[in-house]
Chain A
């Protein structure tokens, strides 16, 4: 069980303020989406949360432990795992070998206590890859690769899962599979999802934060967000709000 608390996170690139005073409080087990138009700063936010980019100011705490500015390996140790928007997979390795690598790392830092082979099977089954274990990653379909993206993150035994546009580039059928699989994730796992696709967002998440030009427009439950005039303006422009 783990709570993520982000306060006042800011990042500028030169004169451009990409993220400004971002706040987020994640309850254990919460499914939270971060949405917003292109250029709103979502990827930058994610890179900061997952340790690939150091914020200019603000704090990121997990269970009171400050993880801001620490690299990706340290973030992993703190129980945060991420998937990538563009497939960052082990092309020539099989699904089995890929998952093994992830689980091996978890075992080495003590995050995995049970039998590795059993856990590998469990995660593969959870993401419906158990019939593909012997296949090389390059030979998987795009949807299966996106599933593997999530599976690898799960193999880190995280308490908080950051998913960067898991449905990016997927067909409607693949998207539906993904929504179903994400819905089947353990209840005590907290989830932060960056997404463009509203089907995924509304199908998976119970809370949504809307970002525009690096600032939070609103942070509430899906129903409220859907009807909020500021959100409609951000997405649709003045004419249609």
Chain B
């Protein structure tokens, strides 16, 4: 029984970690139709920055607060100065932007390898957890408090994003701006700033997930790429561009991964691909995705 509870909690923790990683990606795609394959890069920058802030100040909380600001600013600049002008010049938002951000990913992974090995001389690093959360909580069995923190954080972020997009004018403005820039502009709103802001928000979330992962997992130059596949399986499963889907998808993937590891380790490595194939057969657009269009 307690073995099951342990795995259930582990599953939830992994799910929330995946959710934090995937939600930024989902927001930029869902609202702006930009597939940011370099998302992992912002995640990794958040982790490295978190490590630096954490080492310098000794405080995890400061790292969590300050580090994600870097990817946020970088994201803002990227969208405003690079991506937006290209889209305005008529480039195909979907495939061209996806390829472009993929090139960026290559670039950032290269830089990270260079920096971490040549300059920082670190191969593995980790952000120190805060004293408050470094211990265990007794819930019938000792469970790492930090993992409970991750679960809580994931749920909180999910609520925050949902509120922002569904309950405020921001979501409507962005969606309107994607459909018809001119009209939104005539309402006195600088659409480009809004887009850059949304992109920055997505990168900020990536940065947060980087700091959290940096404390729970380890930091190395392959981080950016290693979250790529789990993130996109979450996103494909849940339905591209859906926040609800991202949340549910993360839970499905996280739980499947954890429970197969615990109870059926032989197929654990392939479990997420089996999931992917299943969803392709049953519902290719994902759980909350829009049905494949007609004409």
Contacts and interface: CB of A to CB of B under 8 A. Distances in A.
Report if A and B touch in the complex (beta carbons < 8 A).
yes
Interface of A: 47, 52-53, 84, 88
Nearest to A51: B294
Contacts of B294: 47, 52-53
Contacts of A52: 294-295
Interface string B63-97: 00000000000000000000000000000000000
A72 to B, nearest CB: 8
A234 B294 CA distance: 30
Nearest to B293: A52
Contacts of B295: 47, 52, 84, 88
Size category of the B interface is under 10
Interface in B238-295: 294-295
B95 to A, nearest CB: 16
Nearest to B294: A52
Contacts of A88: 295
A108 B67 CA distance: 62
Instruction: Give the 7 A-B CB pairs with smallest separation, nearest first.
Output: A52-B294, A52-B295, A53-B294, A47-B295, A47-B294, A84-B295, A88-B295
Nearest to A53: B294
A88 B295 CA distance: 10
B131 to A, nearest CB: 54
Nearest to A46: B295
A47 B294 CA distance: 9
Contacts of A47: 294-295
A53 B295 CA distance: 9
A47 B295 CA distance: 8
Nearest to A88: B295
7 contacts: A47-B294, A47-B295, A52-B294, A52-B295, A53-B294, A84-B295, A88-B295
Contacts of A84: 295
Contacts of A53: 294
A53 B294 CA distance: 7
A136 B236 CA distance: 37
Nearest to A50: B295
A24 to B, nearest CB: 21
A37 to B, nearest CB: 22
Nearest to A52: B294
A84 B295 CA distance: 10
Nearest to A71: B294
A84 B294 CA distance: 13
A192 to B, nearest CB: 17
A69 to B, nearest CB: 12
B90 to A, nearest CB: 14
A52 B294 CA distance: 6
A32 to B, nearest CB: 22
Nearest to A164: B295
A138 to B, nearest CB: 14
A110 B295 CA distance: 25
Interface in B37-63: none
B18 to A, nearest CB: 33
B284 to A, nearest CB: 16
A106 to B, nearest CB: 21
A186 B295 CA distance: 28
B245 to A, nearest CB: 20
B290 to A, nearest CB: 14
A234 B199 CA distance: 46
A88 B294 CA distance: 13
B291 to A, nearest CB: 11
A147 B294 CA distance: 24
A53 B293 CA distance: 10
